[in-house]
């Protein structure tokens, strides 16, 4: 896929959570290709270090920080470390998530709390950590990854969809509060993106993918790059007057 170049992204510090694999990896690669200074957080040490080394060898400015995003103290420390290395962040992509399935009647309090921690809580505190950095710059763009699953109401994902719907409300509130400071906040909702993890866990049967394609207006698989390209647009100055929006990248689900 040919990727659009956004001159406004060159040299800007971009922070991406959950960037070592899947959609996050595609987002890391997209910003690196646009000449941004890319820092990404992930728990997967070997995979993260390998990606950072590959992109750095190709001339990109990339930094990997191993971080358990459920540890808010570690998250805050990572943002301080990134600022010291690359300067204040102009872009934050809150991508990290886990769409673990549960039988609703079997969900325990610990299960629910864990799902909120990995899907919602770190989004809140990552935004809190980045706002002072964006204030230094006098502008910024935050992209919070939600999901088309909460819009459709996918069974078995009640905890996940609760967190993902909450991200939209949170994003709207942030956009209203910080728009006057030229800090934009938008939500991005992917549809059925068959990442390697998704294929391993939920889509081993090709018929499930075929069923998903049938309800899309465009009956083609949504790629990780499709989502990454939407992130680039939301982060760039080309979308300078777009805030408090949720964009569905889902092939036009019927």
Active site residue ranges: 160
b/e code 11-41 from CB counts within 10 Å (16+ = b): ebbbbbbbbbbbbbbbbbbbbbbbbbbbbbb
Please identify which residue in the block is written with the tokens 């709207």.
172
Angle between helices 22-33 and 224-235 (to 10 degrees): 50
Q: What is the largest CA-CA distance in the chain?
A: 51
Phi then psi for 221, rounded to 5 degrees?
-65, 135
Residues 230/249, Cβ–Cβ less than 8 Å: yes
């Amino acid at each position: 896929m040919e990727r659009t170049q956004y001159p406004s992204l060159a040299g800007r510090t971009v922070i991406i959570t959950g960037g070592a694999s899947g959609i996050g990896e595609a987002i890391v690669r997209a910003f690196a290709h646009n000449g941004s200074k890319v820092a990404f957080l992930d728990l997967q040490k070997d995979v993260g270090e390998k990606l950072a080394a590959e992109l750095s060898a190709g001339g990109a400015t990339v930094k990997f920080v191993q971080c358990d995003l459920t540890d808010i103290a570690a998250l805050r420390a990572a943002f301080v470390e990134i600022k010291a290395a690359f300067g204040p962040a102009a872009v934050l992509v809150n991508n990290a998530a886990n769409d673990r399935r549960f039988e609703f009647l079997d969900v325990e309090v610990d299960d629910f709390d864990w799902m909120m921690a990995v899907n919602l809580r770190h989004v809140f505190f990552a935004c809190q950590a980045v706002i002072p950095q964006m204030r230094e710059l006098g502008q910024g763009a935050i992209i919070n990854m939600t999901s088309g699953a909460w819009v459709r109401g996918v069974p078995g994902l009640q905890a996940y969809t609760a967190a993902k719907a909450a991200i939209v409300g949170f994003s709207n509130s942030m956009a209203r509060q910080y728009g006057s400071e030229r800090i934009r906040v938008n939500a991005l909702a992917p549809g059925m993106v068959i990442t390697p993890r998704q294929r391993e866990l939920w889509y081993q049967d090709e018929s499930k993918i075929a069923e998903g394609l049938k309800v899309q207006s465009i009956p083609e698989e949504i790629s990780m790059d499709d989502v990454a390209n939407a992130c680039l647009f939301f982060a760039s100055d080309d979308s300078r007057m777009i805030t408090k929006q949720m964009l569905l990248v889902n092939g036009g689900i019927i």
